[in-house]
Structure 1
């Protein structure tokens, strides 16, 4: 019997996971997120006002760690250059790798983890729409921030417009700073590594990766500290909404297959039949497209016994050699003898 967390096992009542359906789904969701982020640029003046308001709140709460970190990364290339590479690349490498690792080795956990990540990402998109925010690096120079990625642009593929390759800065929304999904995705990766890694090294990585990412986004002047807090809050909200999203997705999948799929009846019975995690035990007719009583399987399958075949513990009614047949009346269960044959 295969383990519950081995690849290819049932991950949820929705059916077996297939990479050729998962990959297009993830690419589609990310494409929608990227397009939505690009379209909700917002007003630049509003974004600058929001950035300055966040900076004032942080100073009032003595949470302004961006300035010392940014000065350190600017004056020390051995810290600033690796931080820029960290910001420009790991966000797009580590998260897919963790997804693939979960799919291959923790299939029973994959669907919920993937749904959590996607739900939180769309929550972040709502934040970009409602609160466009100018990152510290785009504020007036009088505020004391240096864009380290522009400062060290000769070391990498990026230019002076965030982590986008040179000449493609117009393909990104530079005012989508609140919340920080760099921190949010790193936190998701950290939780997955901590919970399912199984070794001390993966647990250490699960703690260090989101922590270092938070330091990097502030030191490179790409995010405020409160952006990082908002990124963690978006992941928390996504985690709370994940069971409801899974339930809605399961209901929608069942309805769609029942209405349009050629094997609607069999699929719906598999999802909602007796003992399934979706519907539980069925004691009456099943409503919907497969209405009617649920009939248990026929054990005999129409088979007949062969001549001379006997069931276990069956009495041999043939008289033994030299013995007289049993002529005593049989009891019919109501106290009256059976009629003679």
Structure 2
């Protein structure tokens, strides 16, 4: 009886651990709310930096795209309904079918949540859709569906946490993981996921280009750290030489 329960019990424990990580992140993100003046000032700095880096103007890009607005609700649906389900399905797939990779992927998720929470606390940032002046259209509230209240500060969601974009970071993680651990030839199609996600978060005015860049950098950094950790667990050449010498002795 116990062997039959071992696998579902282990899965339930890992699922509860992931849920706890997300709950702690959500609560910590909410606690980091409440500095709108600083968040709007940081938004101006981000826009200035993007112009200095010659990144495409988000407002002009959105204005051009809205000449045909049939895509707006689709983009909102993608933003609201694809991010978390895709991430959770990916993690479930890793645990069930690629379990040796599970500790690495869980570590990347935990690291990215912690890093994002630190940035939220240290660098509050208003998203483009909340900026005054009418340069950006808040597509989520105009076309729906929206995961945010119409006014910042209402509800449990910190709307001044645009930096970094974990939507983009985790889309990159999902694409990397499916390509790295998958077997089907069609797995390469998932490379479109982070590209579409980046366009969606920018065109819906939920994030700046730099939010996606920083979110991706956090995930890439976490993956790089896990590579070093995995290499540290493997016997090195010096260790193998020492073993050979001891055997020869």
TM-score by length of 1: 0.61
Higher relative contact order (CA 8 A, sep 6+): 2
Match of 2:75 in 1: 83
Match of 1:132 in 2: 124
Instruction: Give the secondary structure class of the aligned counterpart of 1:171.
Output: coil
Match of 1:146 in 2: 137
Instruction: Give the secondary structure class of the aligned counterpart of 1:170.
Output: coil
Highest CA radius of gyration, 1 or 2? 1
1:52-110 CA-to-partner distances (Å, cap 9, x unmatched) read 11101111222034123322444423211110001111111100000011111101111
Which of 208, 211, 215 is matched with 1:224 structurally?
208
Deviation (angstroms), 1:128 = 0.7
Instruction: Give the secondary structure class of the aligned counterpart of 1:82.
Output: helix
Partners of 2:138 and 2:229 in 1: how far apart? 39
Unmatched tracts of structure 1, length 5 or more: 1-7, 10-16, 163-167, 247-275, 281-341
**Structure with greater helix share of residues:** 2
Which of 33, 49, 56 is matched with 1:41 structurally?
33
Report whether the alignment pairs 1:103 with 2:95. Answer: yes
Whether the 8 Å CA contact 1:120–1:237 is kept in 2: the answer is no
TM-score by length of 2: 0.83
Instruction: Give the secondary structure class of the aligned counterpart of 2:155.
Output: helix
Match of 2:197 in 1: 213
Which of 172, 177, 181 is matched with 1:196 structurally?
181
Partners of 2:25 and 2:113 in 1: how far apart? 8
Pair 52,188 (structure 1): closer, same or farther in 2 beyond 3 Å: same
Unmatched tracts of structure 2, length 5 or more: 1-5, 240-249
1:274-309 CA-to-partner distances (Å, cap 9, x unmatched) read xx9xxx9xxxxxxxxxxxxxxxxxxxxxxxxxxxxx
Which of 169, 177, 186 is matched with 2:171 structurally?
186
Match of 2:246 in 1: none
TM-align CA RMSD: 2.9
Pair 136,107 (structure 1): closer, same or farther in 2 beyond 3 Å: same
Partners of 2:220 and 2:128 in 1: how far apart? 25
- How many residues are aligned here? 229
